[in-house]
Amino acid sequence: MEYGMFTEYGDRVIDGVVIAAKQLGWTAAEVVDILDDISTVRGLHEAGDTAVREAVSNALFMEAA
């Protein structure tokens, strides 16, 4: 799945967050905190971008509807 990260690796990292969030029932606030943490990692700064957050939100909350 593509989340708007600059690399395939970045998209895989974010996909892991989405999978974990679904399995563990994380809240939106918890997911945002994790994306903030990921955005501090070299090469993954775009995890904090609005486009990435919207893609994650869609994957978590729109698919479930």
Give the separation between CA 40 and CA 18, rounded to whole angstroms: 18
Q: Indicate the pLDDT class of residue 61, thresholds 50, 70 and 90.
A: confident
What's 43-57 look like in SS3?
Answer: CCHHHHCHHHHHHHH
Mean pLDDT of 22-47: 97
- Listing DSSP states for 1-65 in one string gives ---S-SSHHHHHHHHHHHHHHHHHT--HHHHHHHHHHHTTSTT-GGGGSHHHHHHHHIIIIITT-
Q: What is the pTM of this model?
A: 0.91
